[in-house]
Amino acid sequence: MVLGTVLVSAVAYWCIASAWMGGSIGLNPMDAALRMGPHLAWTLTSLANGAVEWIWLAVAVVVGAWLAR
């Protein structure tokens, strides 16, 4: 369940970053998601998220592990 929580979070961050980038250059989110590389996705995610968001992500992983028991 921990891997599932991390995977869903990563896909969600990827989709949010690609929608933001794609909207600014006129692409739909799916095209932008397919064209965006991991470095750009990481850069946009780290710019958009502060310490509080990373703490909430860690809390989500812990809660996912606890619920999977």
The pLDDT, as a whole number, for residue 69 is 83
Mean pLDDT computed over 4-17: 90
DSSP helix/strand/coil, 26: coil
The pTM (predicted TM-score) of the whole model is: 0.79
The CA-CA-CA angle for residues 2, 16, 48, to 5°, reads: 90
DSSP H or E run through 44: helix 38-48
pLDDT in tens, 15-40: 999 999 998 899 998 999 999 999 99
Banded pLDDT at 68 (limits 50, 70, 90)? confident
- Other Cβ atoms within 10 Å of 13 Cβ, number: 19
Give the confidence band of 53 by pLDDT, cuts at 50, 70, 90.
Answer: very high
